[in-house]
Amino acid sequence: MGDALVCYFRAMASTVARVRIEGRVQGVWFRAWTVDEARARGLSGWVRNRRDGSVEALFAGPEELIDEMIDACRRGSPASDVNSVSRLEASAADLGGEGFRQLPTE
């Protein structure tokens, strides 16, 4: 039973999702807010501005917490105005580190 429980938690923690957030999401504390929100949920990953004006984030952790974080992104930081959030395919190889952090614009 112990091994099954370990496998269950590993499977739950292995979900990775990349999202693109569009709208007024740059210059409105969106990335810092995302870092705070993701860390509060214990998620790993990163967030960065895109040159096209969107914000991109990669979330890794239990599926239900990722879904909760994506819902939070739809609401956005207090000063943002989110038009859309798209969930894209991703893998653990995209993480590139531990914890949740802010990356430079790409």
Residues labelled as active-site residues = 31, 49
Cβ-count burial of 87 within 10 angstroms (0-12 exposed, 13-18 middle, 19+ buried)? Answer: middle
CB atoms near residue 15 (< 10 Å):
18
CA Rg value for the chain = 14
